[in-house]
Structure 1
Amino acid sequence: MLLSWMLLQVAAVPAPQPELICRRVEVTGSIARKERVCRTKAEWRDADEWGNRRARAIVDESRGRMSDGL
């Protein structure tokens, strides 16, 4: 009985939520408008890496090289 109570107590503890990092991001098509965007550290890292890969692909295409399909 004590074991089942202990298991219920452990299961009732919510998992810690990842910390959000918020940035003000320029809105495409607007001169001054910015939006607040909140993501986890991993999500920001993934977005930054995707942007870098996309920029590299654009440069490679402009030089006539094949990109990695982005």
Structure 2
Amino acid sequence: MVGTVFVVSVLLQTAATPVAAIPASATSEEPICRRLEVTGSIARKERVCKTKAEWRAAEENGNSRARAIVDYSTGRPTGQ
């Protein structure tokens, strides 16, 4: 009888304790949409939707590629 009361009390305590919820932004970020100009067109723009993390990764990738081009060309004579 004491064992049953103990088990029931433990179950009630765990049921009453709220579970730490994962923030909605961490599990499924809402996409951020931007309109980007299409290369070679005067008026055409394309809508691109990505999460905040994907936009950040794309920006970092572009920055690192630009930095690599500058580092590669620094100190090299023109035309080589």
- Same fold, judged at TM 0.5 (above): yes
Q: CA deviation at 1:30?
A: 1.6
Letter of the structure 1 residue corresponding to residue 39 of structure 2: T
Aligned counterpart for 2:68 among listed residues 48, 57, 62:
57
Unaligned segments of structure 1, at least 5 residues? 1-15, 66-70
Which structure shows the bigger proportion of residues in helix conformation?
Answer: 2
2:50 corresponding residue in structure 1: 39
Unaligned segments of structure 2, at least 5 residues? 1-26
| TM norm structure 2 | 0.55
1:23 corresponding residue in structure 2: 34
What is the Cα-based RMSD across aligned positions, in Å? 1.7
Runs of 4+ in structure 1 off by over 2 angstroms are none
Q: CA deviation at 1:61?
A: 1.5
Letter of the structure 1 residue corresponding to residue 40 of structure 2: G
Which structure would you say has the larger Rg?
A: 2
Q: State the SS of the aligned residue for 2:64.
A: helix
Q: CA deviation at 1:47?
A: 0.2
Distance in 2 between residues matched to 1:59 and 1:26, nearest whole Å: 25
